[in-house]
Amino acid sequence: MYSDLVIEHFTNPRNVGVIENADGVGRVGNPVCGDMMEIFIKVEDGRIADVKFRTFGCGAAIATSSMATEMVKGKPIEDVLRLTRKDVADALGGLPAHKMHCSNLAVDALRAALHDYFSKHPELLPAGVRLEDLAPPPEDSSAEEA
């Protein structure tokens, strides 16, 4: 049911771990099945200089965490803000329909980490971006929208 790429990222996940003194930390739970993810970011010159994650979840959750961190590493924050769960799922060669919600975890955690970062540095918030839009979704929200 999983693509080879999903299995590959699940088997050898990139960027697993914790960043001490991270510039931003995002922690989100998955309201659908109760899983959890943490993302740590280091920001330099408006780019994601380093990123690490820890995930408690299924194969798809771990693979999307790994892929999402790869996709944002070294990228300007503006790009990260545009990342959707579909981008991550597509990069993995697709996910089974009932596993699409797992990719929310990674995208939401990244945005939560940026929320944390910009809360400390509101002056760096890019034009047109509102801090509240980056806030992690409340626990009971539907996981269906990207």
Does 61 participate in binding ligand FES (rule CB under 6 A)?
A: yes
Does 5 participate in binding another protein (rule CB under 8 A)?
A: no
Distances (CA, A) of 29 to 36, 38, 123: 4, 9, 28
List 23, 38, 108, 116, residue binding another protein (CB under 8 A): 38
List 9, 13, 107, 112, residue binding another protein (CB under 8 A): 13
Quick check: is 58 catalytic? no
Does 26 participate in binding ligand FES (rule CB under 6 A)?
A: no
In the complex, least distance from residue 50 CB atom to another protein, rounded to whole angstroms: 17
d(CA 41, CA 53): 9
Does 42 participate in binding another protein (rule CB under 8 A)?
A: no
- Residue 41 is given by DSSP the state E
d(CA 53, CA 106): 9
List 58, 81, 125, 135, residue binding another protein (CB under 8 A): 58
Does 92 participate in binding another protein (rule CB under 8 A)?
A: no
- In the chain the first and final C-alpha atoms are separated, in Å, by 22
Give the binding range for ligand FES (CB under 6 A) out of 42-50, 56-64, 70-78, 137-145: 56-64
Q: Decide the pairing of beta strands 47-56 and 24-29.
A: unpaired
> In this complex, which beta carbon is closest to ligand FES, that of residue 13 or of residue 57?
57
Quick check: is 33 catalytic? yes
Give the H or E element holding residue 115: helix 102-120
Q: Which of 113, 141, 108 is nearest to 36 (CA)?
A: 108
Catalytic residue list: 33, 102
